[in-house]
Amino acid sequence: MQRETGRAGGAGRARVILGASCYPDAEAALVLAMELARQLGAELQAVFVRETAVLAAGYAHSRVVSYSGQRETGLTGAALAKAFQADARRFKGLLSARAAAAALQSSFQEAEGHVQEELRRVSQAGDILVLGFKPILRSAGCIAVILAEGQGVPDYALRLARKTGKPLVALVACAAGAEPPPAGQWEGGVETRFCALPEALLRQLEQMNPAAVIVAAPLADLPPAARLQDAARCPLILQTGG
């Protein structure tokens, strides 16, 4: 396995775009997004998305936990809208404060729809997308990077792992029917694990409890991004083509 040198983006200035539909997911991924933006000299953009599925699901069976810790059920549309507004306001405030302290250029916008679809809509080739997700377990392990056969580990993945003090595990998605070589260690202490089937890749993610998952392999050859994040239960970092 080789290292892949160079920056994540193509020509022009890179952008790191962080998307989330609630404040806890945004907060959990902001440190990662800021570190990526700092490494790449990129602009940090944040998108808060009011999930259409939540708004359309009906309010009678909705449940939320308020900031005071009380459970509230049977929410009205107005109450859900107010909760979204509060989360968006906190997200914007946190981004503004931390980006200013780190001297990062940042921007914030709101949208309605689905997080992954909205990020793809606003992104361009060469951008890095960060999908926020608050890990269920507080003590997360490694950072995982999903690669195609023969693909090198991106430099920014190595730097991110070093910065966060997390081991880096490369999950190599092999062609179906291929006989993968045994798992082992790659230069720099990066562990490699080979997954010949999509189900094997998802099982690895479910068992790892990663702090973040970087998807460097083409998404067309992998399970849907939403399924990858459901299995990993952590922020997902997507490198767009460019």
Percent of the chain with pLDDT over 70: 77
Phi-psi bin for 209: left (phi > 0), alpha (psi -120 to 50), beta? Answer: left
Integer angstrom CA distances of residue 193 from 145, 155, 189: 10, 19, 13
Average pLDDT over residues 77-81: 74
How many beta carbons lie within 10 A of that of residue 161, not counting itself? 24
Query: In terms of residues, how long is the chain?
Result: 242
Average pLDDT over residues 53-66: 51
CB 217 within 8 A of CB 123: no
Select the more confidently predicted residue: 153 or 176. 153
| Domain 135-242 -> CATH class | alpha beta
**What single-letter amino acid sits at 76?**
T
Select the more confidently predicted residue: 78 or 237. 237
68 beta partners: none
Q: Read off the pTM.
A: 0.82
The candidate with the shortest Cα–Cα distance to 135, out of 31, 9, 235, 22, is 235
Select the more confidently predicted residue: 51 or 9. 51
pLDDT of residue 82: 84
pLDDT in tens, 134-173: 987 666 689 999 999 889 999 999 999 999 899 999 999 8
pLDDT of residue 80: 78
Pairing outcome for strands 15-20 and 128-131: parallel
pLDDT of residue 231: 95
**Residue 75 confidence (pLDDT) above 90:** no
pLDDT averaged over the chain? Answer: 83
Integer angstrom CA distances of residue 16 from 8, 45, 123, 128, 210: 10, 6, 9, 5, 20
**Residue 69 confidence (pLDDT) above 60:** no
pLDDT of residue 94: 97
pLDDT of residue 107: 96
Residues whose CB falls within 8 Å of the CB of residue 95, separated by 6 or more in sequence, listed in order: 26, 30, 44, 46, 106, 108
The candidate with the shortest Cα–Cα distance to 236, out of 124, 128, 111, is 128
**Residue 73 confidence (pLDDT) above 70:** no
How many beta carbons lie within 10 A of that of residue 13, not counting itself? 12
pLDDT in tens, 181-227: 555 555 567 889 999 889 999 999 999 889 999 999 998 889 999 99
pLDDT of residue 240: 83
**Domain spans of the chain?**
21-131, 135-242
